[in-house]
Each structure stands twice: as C-alpha cells, then as structure tokens.
Amino acid sequence: MNPAIEEHLATNLYFDRTFNSEAAKILPGEYYYTAKPMLIVTVLGSCVAACIRDRVSGIGGMNHFMLPDGGGDPGSPTSASMRYGAYAMEVLINQLLKAGARRENFEAKVFGGGNVLRGFTAINVGERNARFVREFLRAENIRIVAEDMNDIHPRKVYFFPQTGKVLVKKLRQLNNYTLVKREQVYAHQLQNNAVAGDVDLF
Amino acid sequence: MADPNTKFLVVDDFSTMRRIVRNLLKELGYSNVEEAEDGADGLAKLKAGGFDFVVSDWNMPNMDGLTMLQQIRADANLSKIPVLMVTAEAKKENIIAAAQAGANGYVVKPFTAATLDEKLSKIFEKMEKAGA
C-alpha cells in the first residue's frame, strides 16, 4: 500500500530578525498553530494557505495545501480532491479548537492559488485551490475577512495570529524555480499516494 | 451489503465532512441518512429513536465523539447500536480509547468509499454472527 497522505505540524522554527519574533515556517502539506505572540510564514505558488484565528483569544494557525488531481470529477463531494481538501482544513481547525479557540470567534484570511504552474498543467490548479478554500469556509460559516488569491505571482505570506495582521509580498522578480519544483514534488506525492488514512485496526 | 434501508446517523461538526460521508454512503447504496452537528445533538437524535448505525467524528464542540460513544454504551436502549468512528486522529492512544469505549470500527480521514465499505461490511458481518 502507498504511504498515506497526512498533514504535518511544521517543525521549522526560527527567530526572525526582521520582525524580532519567534517564527514557524511551513511547507506544502504542513500547518502550524499557536497561542503565543509569534509569526507563521510560508511561500505560496499555486497552493493555498488559510490563516484562521479566534479574534477574541488570538489563538491562530495557518495551513498550506493543494488539492490532489485524483481523476474523476474533482467537483464531486466524494472526489479525492474534496476529501483531501476538507481533511487539510479540518486538521488545522481541530487543533485550534483543542488549543482553546472557539468556532464562533473564527475569522479567516486566505492567500495563494496563483497560476504559477502555467505551462506545466492544462488546468489552472491555483484557481481550483482558491475556489475550494472559499467554498469550504463559506459552507462552514467561517468569515473571510481578507484575501489575496489567483493572479500569476507566487506570494510570501507572514501571519501574526495574535493580532490577525498579515503581510503579503508578491514575488515578481524572484527566480521561482525552487518554488515550482517544490510544488511539483508535492503534487506528485499527492497523486501517487492514496488519499486515505493508513491506520487499519479492528 | 446490508439492508439498504439501514438508518444512519452521521455526526460531525463540519458540514463539508457530513456531506462527504453522506455521499459516500449513498455511493454504497445507503440513502437513509440523517445528520447531527456534535455529540450532544447526536445523542438527542439517537434517544429519539429509529437509528440502526452511527458514523461519528471525534473532535467536536459541546460533546466529542468519544463521550457520545460512552453515553451510547451506557444507555440500555442504545447500547447495542454499532458505532464507527471516523476521525482525523491517527494516534494510537485515540484508537485504543475508542476501542475501549466500545467502538465497532475506526477509520482515519481522509478515507475512501472502499475503506468505508470494508469497515461497514465487517461490522455487519460480526453483528450477523452475534445475532445468529
């Protein structure tokens, strides 16, 4: 059996000198959440990131994912795309709730979904990811208070959960090869691994 | 496949997840499905009667899936109803706790229709044997 797809808590923690703050950097397929005054940073191409926080307690977190291209009708509620996307969102939200956040206090800011893989794939992967995250949050009654999605540029996103502030830098001049490469590897993993948990007990 | 009229209760705090499970069940031929949005809501619906099978999430506000399972097992009218836990929690201690509380099966998200089918068949098979 293929290894299962699983969302991971980011492990790349560092001290960010620019913002004089503890920081967590998240990669595709990862998430991070905190109740502390720190920042969470990621670089997005066609992937999307949802920054979700409790606006009362300041507990917040960010994920970073894309929908797998699992064949069949990706819009169907039982497609691999939908199942994985919903799972990626649920993992982050469950952790926030467990940390003490309250669902009724949630607000979200969403980023990414740029058409940066154009030329590599026939469909606009970024747009599909962006649409999913908007629709998911609407269905779950989580208000989107800010967004910067689609377009063709990669983005670097800094999220400060305690205040809710987000800084987005569009990367126009950068050599994006590393980013594109990383997303392709991630997309490939999603495609080859079963969109299924690997625990099989009783 | 068991009786297609088997009445399911799907308990999950994410409407997206309830919709996914409902549609997976439909693909497997079960369309008699109702939903509850947390353990407390689920337990109230179960107490009102008529359900044959529970598919429940773990992490939910008000009452989580494990507590609901424990209350089901402690209630003489509901104690025999099969409960399949469907959760994003893949940790061993969660699985053990669910088994100890009397879960009939455990599926880790994100799962496929095939996995759900296999778990349901297994549970129906065991029930038949127990009933025979």
Q: What is the pLDDT of residues B113-128, one digit of tens each?
A: 888 999 999 999 988 8
Beta-carbon separation of A199 and B24 below 8 A: no
pLDDT, mean of residues A73-89: 85
Q: Which amino acid is at A36?
A: K
Domain of A20, in residue numbers = 8-192
- Measure the CA–CA gap between A117 and B22, rounded to whole angstroms: 34
Give the chain A residue nearest B24 (alpha carbons): A78
Distance CA B42, CA B35 (A): 8
| Residue A201 belongs to some domain of the structure | no
Residue B119 or residue A196, greater confidence: B119
Q: Is the pLDDT of residue A3 over 50?
A: no
More confident residue, A26 or A115: A26
CB-based contact A197 B90, cutoff 8 Å: yes
Say whether B105 and A202 touch across the interface (CB within 8 A): yes
Cα A130 to Cα A8, A38, A88, A179, B78, distances in angstroms: 21, 26, 14, 18, 43
What are the residues facing A158 on neighbouring strands?
A41, A167
The counts of H helices and E strands in chain B are 5, 5
In a domain, A199, yes or no: no
- State the virtual CA torsion across A134, A139, A142, A143 in degrees, nearest 10: 60
Long-range contacts of A118-121 (CB under 8 A, 24+ apart): A118/A152, A120/A180, A120/A184, A121/A69
Within a domain: A198: no
Does residue A25 surpass a pLDDT of 60? yes
pLDDT for B102 equals 96
For residue A200, what are the CA distances in angstroms to B53, B66, B82, B106? 20, 18, 18, 8
Give me the sign of the Cα torsion angle A164, A135, A82, A133: negative
User: In this predicted model, what pLDDT tens digit does every residue of A87-139 receive, in sequence order?
Assistant: 999 999 999 999 999 999 999 999 999 988 766 666 788 999 999 999 999 99
Q: What is the pLDDT of residue A201?
A: 57
Spatial CA neighbour of A130 closest among A40, A200, A45? A45
In a domain, A136, yes or no: yes
pLDDT digits (tens, 9 = 90+) for B4-24: 999 999 999 999 999 999 999
**Which of these, A186, A164, A140, A142, lies nearest to A44 by C-alpha position?**
A186
Mean pLDDT of A50-75: 89
For chain A positions 155-194, those within 8 Å of chain B (CB to CB) are: 194
Top-confidence residue, B38 or A82: B38
A94 and B109 within 8 Å at the Cβ level: the answer is: no
Residue A126 forms part of a structural domain:
yes
Nearest-angstrom CA–CA distance, A27 and A37: 21
Output the furthest CA–CA distance in chain A (Å, rounded).
Answer: 54
Which DSSP category does B61 fall into?
S
Check residues B48 and A197 and name the one with the higher pLDDT: B48
Residues facing residue A115 across a β-bridge: none
pLDDT at residue A76, as a whole number = 82
Which of left, alpha, beta for A187 (phi over 0: left; psi -120 to 50: alpha)?
A: alpha
B103 neighbourhood in chain A, CB within 8 Å: 202
Between B90 and A5, the higher pLDDT residue: B90
More confident residue, A199 or A1: A199
Residue stretches of chain B with pLDDT short of 70? 1, 132
- Taking residues A192-196, report their average pLDDT: 65
Higher pLDDT, A87 or A197: A87
Model pLDDT for residues A147-162, shown as the tens digit of each residue:
999 998 899 999 999 9
Identify whether A202 is part of a domain. no
Domains held by chain A: number: 1
- A143: helix, coil or strand? strand
Please tell me the distance in Å from A153's CA to the nearest CA on chain B.
Answer: 30
Q: Are B110 and A97 inside 8 Å of each other by CB?
A: no
Closest to A58 measured CA to CA, from A89, A81, A34: A34
pLDDT over 50 at A1, yes or no: no
Is residue A94 a part of any domain in this protein? yes
Distance from CA of B112 to the nearest CA of A (A): 6
Residue A106 lies in a domain: yes
- Secondary structure class of A33 (helix, strand, coil): strand
Q: What is the pLDDT of residue A123?
A: 74
Catalytic residue among A23, A40, A47, A88: A47
Taking contacts as CB-CB distances below 8 angstroms, the residues of chain B near A197 are 90, 107-111, 115
CA distance A60 to A75: 29
Assess whether pLDDT exceeds 90 at residue A171.
Answer: no
> Could you tell me the CATH number of the domain that includes residue A57?
3.30.1330.200
Q: What is the mean pLDDT of chain A?
A: 87
Phi, psi of A49 (to 5 degrees): -130, 135
pTM, 2 dp: 0.88
Measured distance CA(A148)–CA(A137) in Å, rounded: 15
Active-site residue flag, A47: yes
